[in-house]
Amino acid sequence: MKTTLFQIDKLLQHHVSLPLYRQIYQRFIQAINQGILRPEQRVPSIRTLSSELQVSRSTVESAYTLLLNEGYLESRGQAGTIVSPKLADRVLQPPETLISSSIDVTRSCPLII
């Protein structure tokens, strides 16, 4: 499984004060909130992701632990780790849906001269 699905590998910055595990954690949350990672979608194993990102397994494990504890991910034992199905209601709508359901303010307000 390639992490280029949401390009986490290109966004990690090794020379900033924010620890790498927090950067991974934040990128996962962004990808979930933007609908890039969907509920029940499988995520890479700790070993796979650490290898792809060229960081230690404990770094990825720390990020996954935070995501698991906060309910973003769910562990399925031998079956792997998935984005929590409970997040289905929290995932943002695609931008097209939000724009099409917006209110036309010009029609709802009287013209003042």
pLDDT, one tens digit per residue, over 45-56 is 999 999 999 999
- The string of DSSP codes covering 40-65 is T-EE--HHHHHHHHTS-HHHHHHHHH
C-alpha distances out from residue 43 to 15, 56, 99, Å: 26, 17, 30
How high is the pLDDT of residue 10? 65
CATH 1.10.10.10, applies to 3-108 = yes
Cβ atoms < 10 Å from Cβ of 107: 6
End-to-end C-alpha distance for the chain, whole angstroms: 61
pTM of the model: 0.72
Domain positions in the chain are: 3-108
Residues in the chain with pLDDT values less than 70 = 1-11, 89-113
